[in-house]
Amino acid sequence: MELVYGIKDRPSLGKVFLFAVQQLLAIMAATIAVPAIVGNGLTASAALFGAGVGTFIYLIFTKSASPVFLGSSFAFIGSMFSAFGGAASVTVGYWGLIIGSMMAGIVYIIIALAVKFFGVKWIDKLMPPVIIGPTVAIIGLSLSGNAIGDLMKSNIEGGSTYVALICGLFTLFVTMMCSTYGSKIGKLIPFIQGILAGYILASIFAIIGHVTNNPSLIVINYSALTSLDFSKFSSFLSLPKFTFALGGVEGLKGVTGTYLLTIFAAYVPVAFVVFAEHLADHKNLSAIVGVNLLENPGLTRTLLGDGVGTFISTLFGGCPNTTYGESIGCVAITRNASTISIWGCAILCIIFSLITPLVAFLETIPSCVMGGVCVALYGFIAVSGLKMFQQVDLNKNRNLFVASVILITGVGGMVVKFGKVEIRTVACALILGIITNLLLSPSGKKEA
């Protein structure tokens, strides 16, 4: 594909701003969705700030040679729930997020060093498509319960489940229609359009509810906006609630050896899956920009940027990062591969995170609206994993058994506990898949 702007090209300042805004619109919905889903004090503003900083780190490591944005990773949502669920308090959970992200970052760094010295063939043997495909699918499927729960959830006590469901499904349908039949730009930001449409519908129901004194119609909570006191400067500009500040020194006292093992089991296996996504994203981006990014800047640099960027992002926003397909899609449609646009998007993320009214607005987005978006987002994750089966011969018994073990243990919600240490669903599925594949791949024997 012929590019309008190459990786090292520098468009005019006005065009850079427009390209940066376009990237921001493409990645914003997914980036703010993760803290909204996980809750426990995590905020959209901190997630945006962390994503901006994480992308800075990535661009520095890759010498501005890879045009992709790093945003909040959905793959780690289950891991983040484990950080809070296994903690004695929410305060401890914040440190669990940071420690877990550090563990995931170390996985990336170790793989980066191994790739540098030993190449990539060992990765293909340990995690071939028959393992990565169904495991990625399980990440999406394991989160489906959260999406449906939010889809039917009101943010106001007494709000009707049916009203919430209507707003959530309306959000989903608008998202699908915009993605399928929208203009070129519209197809790039279907989640933003869906969220805005769902928000407007929820607001219409709220107005009718207030006028008719019918609280069951009200599913949206505007308190974050109405509580702003514009006589104070902080109501215009303020720092986000950073993860390291929320945890505090006291939270470290609850980090025990058992808790660390729980965090290790929750984060490290998922890090290997996200590594596979990282590899696939950069192969896809390489085809778009006409440059083999696995060679220049190289897989070692992209992994180091992703790993270190993920850890730094979590310090601020609580959410591990990953390379965004929405960002890559933006590059493909606009044919603009200039990394200056990515720098601009990262800067805008940080600026937006400091604007209090904008952050307050984001916090009023109803759970049911986010649930409608998540039905599509989680579905995308699941389907992207299933697409990897195109490379797999399921007529071979080995492949059939490997995929079956991963899918059934994943969909079945297998969780293994050793005392207080808990190995979550995705980790169990991935580990059993690797073991099954190794057992059924003895050298020298012909497969049936």
* DSSP string for 364-391: TS-HHHHHHHHHHHHHHHHHHHHHGGGG
Q: Determine how many CB atoms are found less than 10 A away from the CB of residue 39.
A: 13
Model confidence at 151, in pLDDT bands (50, 70, 90)? very high
List, in order, residues 6 or more apart from 425 with CB less than 8 Å away.
Answer: 78, 138, 142, 409, 410, 413, 414, 415
Q: Is residue 3 part of a domain?
A: no
Of residues 311 and 245, which shows the higher confidence score? 311
- pLDDT classification of 172: cutoffs 50, 70, 90: very high
Q: What is the pLDDT of residues 281-301, one digit of tens each?
A: 787 788 788 888 888 898 899
The percent helix, strand, coil of the chain (3-state, each to 5) is 75, 5, 25
Amino acid at 100: G
- Identify whether 186 is part of a domain: yes
Strand pairing category for 416-418 and 421-423:
antiparallel
**In the prediction, which pLDDT does 25 show?**
75
Q: Is the pLDDT of residue 24 over 80?
A: yes
Average pLDDT over every residue of 41-55: 91
Residue at 7 is within a domain: no
What value does the mean pLDDT of the chain take?
A: 85
In a domain, 197, yes or no: yes
Q: Which domain, by its residues, includes 43? A: 13-439
Render pLDDT for 245-269 as a digit per residue (tens, 0 to 9): 887 777 787 788 888 888 888 888 8
Question: 318, exposed or middle or buried, with CB in 10 Å at 0-12, 13-18, 19+?
Answer: buried
Q: Which two tokens stand for residue 83?
A: 């950080």
Bigger pLDDT: 362 or 216? 216
DSSP per-residue codes, 281-324: HHHHHHHHHTS-TIIIIIHHHHHHHHHHHHHHHHHHHS--EEE-
Say if 257 falls within a structural domain. Answer: yes
CA separation for the pair 169, 29 (Å, rounded): 17
- Determine, yes or no, domain membership for 2: no
* Alpha carbons 417 and 415: distance in angstroms, whole number: 7
- Which pLDDT score is estimated for 329? 75
- The winner for highest mean pLDDT among 59-73, 175-189, 316-330, 381-395 is 59-73
Exposure string (b/e) for 62-100, b if CB count within 10 Å is 16 or more?
A: bebbbbbbbbbbbbbbbbbbbbbebbeebbbbbbbbbbb
Q: What is the pLDDT of residue 279?
A: 79
DSSP, res 184: H
144 within a domain of the structure (yes/no): yes
Residue 96 falls inside a structural domain: yes
How many structural domains comprise the chain?
A: 1
Q: What band does 307 get if pLDDT is binned at 50, 70 and 90?
A: very high
